[in-house]
Chains A and B, each alone.
Chain A
Amino acid sequence: MTTLTTARMTGLFGFNQEAWIKLGLMLLALALMLIGLVFPLYTLLLKSVQNSAGEFIGLANYRHYFSTPSLVNSIANSFFIAIMTMCLVVVLAFFCAYGITRTCMPGKKVFKVLTLLPILAPSLLPAISLVYIFGNQGYLKGLLGGESVYGPIGIVIGMCFWIFPHALMILVTALSNSDARLYEAARSLKTPAWRTFLTVTLPGIRYGLMSCAFVVFTLAITDFGVPKIIGGQYNLLATDIYKQVVGQQNFQMGAVVSMILLLPAVLTFIADRWVQRKQTSQLSARAVPYQPSPSPVRDWVFAVLCFSVAGIILLMIGTAVYASLIQFWPYNLTYTLRHYQFDGLGGSGWESWFNSLKMASGVAVIGTLVIFTVAWMVEKTKEFSLLRQWVHLFAILPMAVPGMVLGLAYIFFFNHPNNPLNILYGTLAILILNTLVHFYTVCHLTSMTALKQLDPEFEAVGASLKVPFWRTYLRVTLPTSLPAVLDISVYLFVNAMTTVSAVIFLYGPDTRLASVAVLHLDEAGYFASAAAMSVLILLTSIVVKILHAMCTHLILKRSQIWRQR
Chain B
Amino acid sequence: MGDVMRTIQQPSLAALVGQTAFMPDSDISESICLEIEGLSKSFGTFVALNSIDLTINEGEFVCFLGPSGCGKTTLLRAIAGLEPQSSGRIVQMGKEISHLPPQHRDFGIVFQSYALFPNLTLADNIAYGLRNQRHTRKAIQARVQELMSLIGLEGSEKKYPAQLSGGQQQRVALARALATEPGLLLLDEPLSALDAQVRVHLRQQIKALQKTLGVTTVMVTHDQEEALTMADRIVVMNHGVIEQVGTPEEVYRHPKSAFVAQFVGNMNFLSAEVCSPTAVMIGAQRYTTQPHALENKRPVHLAIRPEEVVLTSSGQAESQLEARVIHIEYLGAFLRLTCDVTSADIQLRVDIQHADAVQHQIQLGKDVHLALPAASCRVFRQDGN
Using a CB–CB distance below 8 Å, which chain A residues touch chain B? 1-4, 6-8, 10-11, 16, 18-19, 382, 455, 457-458, 460-468, 471, 475-476, 479-480, 559, 561-565
Contact indicator B160/A461 (Cβ below 8 Å): no
State whether the Cβ of B190 lies closer than 8 Å to any Cβ in chain A. Answer: no
Contact indicator B109/A460 (Cβ below 8 Å): yes
Among the stretches B175-183, B276-284, B308-316, the one at the interface with A is B175-183
Contact indicator A562/B181 (Cβ below 8 Å): no
B contact residues around A19 at 8 Å (CB):
101
Give 9 nearest A-B pairs by CB, closest first.
Answer: A465-B129, A562-B160, A463-B102, A457-B115, A463-B103, A455-B115, A457-B111, A476-B117, A464-B109
CB distance from A511 to the nearest CB of B (A): 40
Contact indicator B120/A461 (Cβ below 8 Å): no
State whether the Cβ of B255 lies closer than 8 Å to any Cβ in chain A. Answer: no
Contact indicator B118/A563 (Cβ below 8 Å): yes
Contact indicator A466/B180 (Cβ below 8 Å): yes
CB distance from B226 to the nearest CB of A (A): 20
Contact with A along B100-133 (1 / 0, CB 8 A): 1111111111010111011110000000110111
A contact residues around B107 at 8 Å (CB):
464
How many A-B residue contacts, CB cutoff 8 Å?
Answer: 110
Contact indicator A1/B181 (Cβ below 8 Å): yes
With A3-B182, A467-B129, A562-B162 as contacts: A475 and B120 at CB distance below 8 Å? yes
Contact indicator A476/B113 (Cβ below 8 Å): no
State whether the Cβ of B26 lies closer than 8 Å to any Cβ in chain A. Answer: no
- Of the A-B pairs whose beta carbons lie under 8 Å apart in the complex, a sample of 20, sorted by A's number, is A3-B180, A16-B104, A455-B111, A458-B117, A460-B82, A460-B102, A460-B111, A461-B109, A461-B176, A463-B101, A464-B107, A464-B108, A464-B129, A464-B182, A468-B103, A561-B160, A561-B163, A562-B119, A562-B160, A562-B162
Contact indicator B160/A460 (Cβ below 8 Å): no
Between A465, A476, A564, the greatest number of chain B beta carbons within 10 A of the residue's beta carbon is seen for A465
State whether the Cβ of B138 lies closer than 8 Å to any Cβ in chain A. Answer: no
Tell me what chain B mostly uses at the interface: helix, strand, loop, or mixed.
loop
Contact indicator B176/A458 (Cβ below 8 Å): no
Between B95, B102, B120, B133, the greatest number of chain A beta carbons within 10 A of the residue's beta carbon is seen for B102
Q: How far is the CA of A7 from the CA of B161 in the complex (A)?
A: 29
The B33-48 residues at the A interface (CB cut-off 8 A) are none
Q: How far is the CA of A1 from the CA of B93 in the complex (A)?
A: 12
Contact indicator B162/A563 (Cβ below 8 Å): yes
CB distance from B108 to the nearest CB of A (A): 6
State whether the Cβ of B65 lies closer than 8 Å to any Cβ in chain A. Answer: no
B contact residues around A561 at 8 Å (CB):
160, 162-163
State whether the Cβ of B80 lies closer than 8 Å to any Cβ in chain A. Answer: yes
CB distance from B111 to the nearest CB of A (A): 4
The residue that B176 contacts in the complex, of A1, A382, A465, with Cβ under 8 A, is A465
Given A467-B132, A561-B160, 8 extra CB contacts under 8 A: A1-B181, A4-B183, A7-B104, A455-B113, A457-B111, A460-B109, A460-B111, A465-B108
A contact residues around B182 at 8 Å (CB):
3, 464
Contact indicator A7/B105 (Cβ below 8 Å): yes
With A464-B102, A465-B132 as contacts: A565 and B115 at CB distance below 8 Å? no
With A2-B133, A461-B109, A476-B117 as contacts: A10 and B104 at CB distance below 8 Å? yes
For A9, give the chain B residue with the smallest CB separation: B104
Q: How far is the CA of A455 from the CA of B103 in the complex (A)?
A: 19
Q: How far is the CA of A460 from the CA of B173 in the complex (A)?
A: 13
B contact residues around A480 at 8 Å (CB):
117-119
Contact indicator B119/A461 (Cβ below 8 Å): no
CB distance from B292 to the nearest CB of A (A): 45
Q: How far is the CA of A458 from the CA of B183 in the complex (A)?
A: 21
Q: How far is the CA of A468 from the CA of B161 in the complex (A)?
A: 22
A contact residues around B132 at 8 Å (CB):
465-468, 471
Contact indicator A562/B128 (Cβ below 8 Å): no
Contact indicator A461/B111 (Cβ below 8 Å): yes
Q: How far is the CA of A464 from the CA of B109 in the complex (A)?
A: 7
Q: How far is the CA of A476 from the CA of B125 in the complex (A)?
A: 10
B contact residues around A4 at 8 Å (CB):
93, 106, 183
A contact residues around B162 at 8 Å (CB):
561-565
Q: How far is the CA of A468 from the CA of B379 in the complex (A)?
A: 54
The residue that B106 contacts in the complex, of A3, A476, A559, A562, with Cβ under 8 A, is A3
B contact residues around A6 at 8 Å (CB):
133
Contact with A along B357-375 (1 / 0, CB 8 A): 0000000000000000000
The residue that B133 contacts in the complex, of A3, A462, A479, A564, with Cβ under 8 A, is A3
